[in-house]
Amino acid sequence: MDPGRLTLASREVSVPSGKLTVSFETVISAFILMALVAAAVLGWWHRAKLPTPEHGPGYALGIAGVTMMVVLMVYPLRKRLASATWMGSVGAWFRIHMFLGLLGPLVILYHARFTWASTNSGVALLALLVVVASGLFGRFLYVHIHRGYSQRKLEVRDIFDELEVSRLLLNADGNAGHLIVGYLRKLEHRALERRPNMVKDALAVFSITFRTWLFAWRLRRVVRDELAREAMLPDKRAARAHVLLDHLTRYLRSIRDVGGFALYDRLFRAWHYLHLPLFLFLAMTVALHVLAVHMY
């Protein structure tokens, strides 16, 4: 059998070989997030030296931050206008939405000098922080039920196929792979169970996640012991162990994905109903803040 292809449910599917990789976009996202966190810490540390928000650069920061928050609304608009291709792709606007959703609040924090100056500005700042926290939580849920940044929501069949491919890769690894699959069958069945409500989903996700990390630690020794029984050169044994551990990591990740999909899907749908009212409340508080600043 070609190691790059496997038969699944009467059809051939391509599977990546070798070590699980991290996408370039993920690396860039992590770098941007770390840079924004560093800028926030730096701003907090030197907050007494920041310009005042009433005029000059401090005032300009407020305008820039509010402008970014307005541009954020283009993403939900573009998502609902499927024919408006002239506006750019939905995926591109989603990236802009996420980036400005972090940069805009940071700029406003610099504008506010990281302080609670008055009641109206304090309420606006609190609403901003709540919306940012909500957005980060939504982003966490998003990555569990969508395929990257493509906006394509994962189907149950997709994650079942990934689980099946992961199992087939291990089964193709000989006795050690068969042994690992045998150990994890019960956990896989637990992940595949249908659960009636969100509470049981949450408990199952916690249990499955903890047990997959525990099995990842325990089964490394199983792999080494099983391969030690086979007659092969040390270099070949090390390479075989490396491949087996990669396949084990993929299999455990697939089990976690299957076990948590229902919970994350339910939470994401509930989050959608909460995030928009929070954003509208933020818009109202910012508008009142701007009005109060220019009237008094």
Q: What percent of the chain has pLDDT over 70?
A: 89
pTM of the model: 0.76
In the chain, the N- to C-terminal Cα span, in Å, equals 77
pLDDT score at 11: 43
pLDDT score at 71: 92
- Per-residue pLDDT of 118-150, as tens digits, reads 777 888 888 988 999 999 999 889 888 887 665
Q: Say whether pLDDT at 233 is over 80.
A: no
Confidence of residue 14 (pLDDT cuts 50, 70, 90): very low
pLDDT score at 89: 85
Q: Which comes out higher in pLDDT, residue 51 or 158?
A: 51
> What does the mean pLDDT of the chain come to?
83
Q: What percent of the chain has pLDDT over 90?
A: 25
pLDDT score at 159: 84
